Amino acid sequence: MATNLELIKSETISTGVGAVTIDNIFSDKYDVYALTGYGKTDGTDSASLRGQLLDSTGTVITASEYDYAYLVMYAHQAFGESRQTSTTFINNIFGSADNPETANAVTYIFNPFDSSSYTFFLTQNVSFANGYGRGDKLIGVHKSAESCRGLYVYANVLTRTWTGKISVFGVK
């Protein structure tokens, strides 16, 4: 894989939001994108950040077209797994965290702009919840061959808000 990164966009979320739309980040210039993200949720319960793609018109794709699986590597207990097929999102795209603890991640997205290919996700993140560290390794797919131009990220608990930063890089 190539190792040159070109910054496309960076979003700083300085006030608590429930969701952020990062539009017009995918194009025919790159096949692979690297997204880095960090953040923390507000409140006392943990919340994970979920992702959905934006179609070519900028509309969030909410159809049951996503599959994902991830390994949860807890620091304080046995590892766990989670998987979902035909769901409406990719879970833990940037981790899961409690306030005031944080989550940090790198997510690779493959072929999002290619209308003849599925879009694939590969995520590694580290986070803290309930005072314990954990790492996640995630794979995912959007099972519709369509051109996508952006990403919608939101907290799985609708009453949670979060702050942080997401940066998008094209991989050369």
**pLDDT tens-digit series, residues 21-57:** 999 999 999 999 999 988 776 666 667 788 999 999 9
Residue 11 CA, chain-centre distance (Å), reads 14
Architecture of domain 5-116+134-171: Sandwich (2.60)
Domain ranges in the chain are 5-116+134-171
Residues 118-149 as b or e (16 or more Cβ within 10 Å = b): bbebebebbbbbeeeebbbebebbbeeebbbb
pTM over 0.95: no
Summarize pLDDT for 84-102 with one digit per residue, the tens. 999 999 988 877 766 666 7
Q: Cβ-count burial of 36 within 10 angstroms (0-12 exposed, 13-18 middle, 19+ buried)? A: middle
